[in-house]
Amino acid sequence: MRRPGGWWRVKSTPEKVETYTRWSFHFFGVIEILALGVTAYGRTGAGLATALCLLVTVHATACMLVSSRALDWTRGRRPQPVRPMWALVVVSAVVSITAVVIAERGPSGEVETAAGSVYGGVLCYAAGVITLGVRGWRRRVAVVGAFAVGAGLLTFPLEMPLLASVVLAGLVMVTGGFLAATSIFSLWLLNAVYALDEAKGTRVRLAVAEERLRFGRDLHDVMGRNLAVIALKSELAVQLSRRGRPEAVEQMIEVQRIAQESQREVRDVVRGYREAALEVELAGARGVLSAAGIVSEVTGETAGLPAEVQSALGWVVREATTNVLRHGDAKKVAVTVRMSEGRVVLTVENDGVAETTGDGPGDSAGTGGPAGTGGSGLSGLRERLSAVDGTLEAGPVGRGVFRLTAEVPLPAAAAGAALGVAS
């Protein structure tokens, strides 16, 4: 069962920023209701105050809907919310005109102040929200300017002085422009976070592609020369055979020798690619994590460890690093190698715990799942460590922290050599 708040922890960083941005826009609607609707109860009678509060609530709800649709449109999930924006314009006009009627025909006094606040406030909020659904600073300035002009024109039925109408229009222009700038900046920040996340994924894929190219170059260097020699000697053997020369047999024996040597060299290349040397894997993990924007700290000495121990621990580092990149949302990864009472202990710790729901297979190493979930990653690592009598433990050790610990016993001679190097 997912713990309370797990829905938030399973989100990636861009998704968290998007959720925060979306609810920030909704919170603007709540502020509108509190600032314009609820405060009317302290300025006029309960009947008129309730009517004004209902009008503001309808307008705030329309603003929330438009801002949410505009955010989805910005992320490319929906078409441009043209109809909802025009609906918001109509709602804003109806609420403003109703507020004007209440201010003109209602009882004199503070009701005019309450209705006037609703009149100007809904136009400011509407101007800030509708700019989310258009692109280009000219169009956005035009939207805010249109609401400001409309605010000034709608004051004529109230027989307000010209200067007061201009001041009101300017107030809507400034306040609506501020709300629009704040909302647009929030969208820009959200798009920037998504762009950085995509760049992070691209850098990780480039690191993997570079490793594949390295493997391809190694194979080319090994096989290119030998295949060229085999082709040349085979052609020579054919020519000698056609002439009935006994040297053709010697050439084919040489071709056989080179082919067998090539097989051994290819096996060595593949073995070197499959077998993980601890020092090489630590350096590779540091580079890949850095490319992904994750801070990595590697401490400890690896010199003097037997080859089979380095290979097993190297696989632990490789698997843990891969799964931190693939599953978690880590900001920092710490890798520690230390000698303790004839054992070498490797610890990989990250702060990117991803919540599990229990619906799928167990977690791999470093994903943030509970210990002993039996995922293929952990099972594979335990099999490799069992070959050198090693053990593996993995699981959360604190709030948002996941630790993977591998221990491998060292032969007496290797333990003494490793301790000598460490000292």
pLDDT by residue for the chain (423 residues), tens only, comes to: 455 556 777 778 888 888 899 998 889 888 888 888 888 777 677 777 888 889 889 999 999 999 999 999 988 888 999 999 999 999 988 888 888 777 776 665 556 677 778 888 888 888 889 999 888 888 888 988 888 888 877 776 666 667 777 888 888 888 888 988 888 998 899 989 888 888 877 777 777 777 677 777 777 766 776 787 788 888 888 888 888 888 888 888 888 888 888 888 777 766 666 556 788 788 877 877 776 678 888 887 777 788 888 888 888 888 888 778 776 677 889 999 888 778 899 999 988 665 443 333 334 444 444 333 334 467 878 888 888 889 999 888 877 788 999 999 987 644 454 545 444
The Cα 347–Cα 406 span in angstroms is: 6
Q: Parallel, antiparallel, or unpaired: how do β-strands 401-409 and 295-299 relate?
A: unpaired
Task: Look at residue 204 in the predicted model and tell me its pLDDT.
Answer: 75
Predicted local distance difference test score (pLDDT) of residue 332: 87
Q: What is residue 421's predicted lDDT score, i.e. its pLDDT? A: 46
Return the sign of the alpha-carbon dihedral for residues 114, 118, 124, 129.
positive
CA distances to 167, 355, 357, 373, 397 from 4, rounded to whole Å, are: 50, 11, 12, 21, 18
Q: Which amino acid is at 199?
A: A
Q: Tell me whether strands 295-299 and 332-340 are parallel, antiparallel or unpaired.
A: parallel
Instruction: Please give the structure tokens belonging to residue 184.
Output: 């647009």
Query: Could you tell me which of 393, 410, 252 has the C-alpha nearest to residue 341?
Result: 410
**pLDDT confidence of residue 236:** 85
> Alpha carbon 332 to chain centroid distance?
15
Which of these, 248, 252, 258, 251, lies nearest to 225 by C-alpha position? 258
CA distance 35 to 120: 12
